[in-house]
Structure 1
Amino acid sequence: MAQQYAVTQKALTRFSKTAQDRARRLREIRRALGTHSPSAGAFGKLQESEETGEDYRERVEATLENLDFAAEQQDQISELIERTARSYQEAEDHTADQLRTIAAEARWAQ
């Protein structure tokens, strides 16, 4: 029954690292997208071209904000998984200490 609830610390650590990697990659994409922008005349000289350029800039800004948010979420996931792994390890260590204490007391009582 206990095997159904077994936690593999290494798996949690690996998952945390993949979240950190995703956050890093999202920031790299954000940085790359944020450094490139078309010139003011790139959309032409017609009146509609100015609107198209403004729409483009708004969409780029929204995309950059979404990338920032996604990277932050990945960082939080990584941190929470690391914290969960530590909690499981602390619980295992505490249980092992208690079992050792019980075993020592049982030997002493004999």
Structure 2
Amino acid sequence: MKPTITKEQEAELEAMRTSFPGGDKYILMAACDDVLGGKLAKLDLMTLAAALVNGYEVEKTPEEKVREYFEKLWTCCCGTDEIEIAEETIINTLNLLGIKIEGVNA
């Protein structure tokens, strides 16, 4: 099973993999010795091991989740009154929160 990690954890993991020859072994050793720092230190050992062995999924950002939801609305509701209401609600909410998402309200 592939665990889900954040984009920041992915960046650190891939940087460590390229920095160390045979990187996965040394990354796990550092985690076992509690000397692994940064965002990877927040992963428990089993999740880190699973990510190294099985690969991983990268967690979507809240913006990506909203964009996906917005696009899904267009797919299922396009051409109906529901889409106009839903679109307006989403855009107004984001604007009230001061959030700009490319492809939605930016």
TM-score scaled by length of structure 2: 0.29
Q: Which of 1 and 2 has higher RCO (CA within 8 Å, sep 6+)?
A: 1
TM-score scaled by length of structure 1: 0.28
Greater share of helix residues, 1 or 2?
1
Larger-gyration structure (1/2): 1
